[in-house]
Amino acid sequence: MQFHKTPLQDCLLIIPEVFKDHRGVFLESYHKRKFFEATGLEIEFVQDNQSVSKRGVLRGLHFQSGEFAQAKLVQVIHGEVLDVVVDLRPDSPTFKKTYKIILNDQNHNQLYIPQGFAHGFITLSETSVFSYKCDRFYSPGTESGVIYNDPDLAIDWNFPEEELILSEKDTKLPTLKQLF
């Protein structure tokens, strides 16, 4: 596994070693000791989640706040997504900055997203299976988000806006100005 810094403080791109042969593919998607040795972070992931989405589904930008803020380790099992994170930590030098990356079942890359970040993705392939580990349990009363088309973030989702598929909840998320 290779661990690379991203432009956002504490957010890491993880590139696994992938073994391919005539039978298929094998990779180690998580190794607690290697993660600690590379990052110095002793994270206990307590919940694994998966979502299945069709082309154009945009999920996010979500986060949990306070003591229920979640760090996540995200990956795509099938298909391709554009993954987007926003640093919402007021004391961070990358506060309100964004980072986006293509994650898919060909590159097998993962993104470590620290607590205090908003996260979202859009499915670019016909379908996607998105998987992520969380270091805190889901807590409905602390969930929030930032609207996907916040003008201050100006995120290019690499997809025609008129073809986006969003939940009703995600269309009503606040802007950064409303949050801060």
Listed by start position, the domains of the chain span 45-179
> In sequence order, what are the beta bridge partners of 103?
81
Catalytic residue (one of 62, 112, 119, 148): 62
Contact 22, 114 (CB under 8 A): no
Return the number of other C-beta atoms located less than 10 Å from residue 163's C-beta. 8
Quote the tokens at residue 174.
Answer: 């606040």
| pLDDT per residue rounded down to tens, the chain (180 residues) | 999 999 999 999 999 999 999 999 999 999 999 999 999 999 999 999 999 999 999 999 999 999 999 999 999 999 999 999 999 999 999 999 999 999 999 999 999 999 999 999 999 999 999 999 999 999 999 999 999 999 999 999 999 999 999 999 999 999 999 999
Instruction: Judge whether 132 counts as a catalytic residue.
Output: yes
Q: Which CATH superfamily includes the segment(s) 45-179?
A: Jelly Rolls (2.60.120.10)
Instruction: Judge whether 108 counts as a catalytic residue.
Output: no
Catalytic residue (one of 99, 108, 119, 132): 132
This model's pTM is above 0.85: yes
Distance CA 50, CA 134 (A): 11
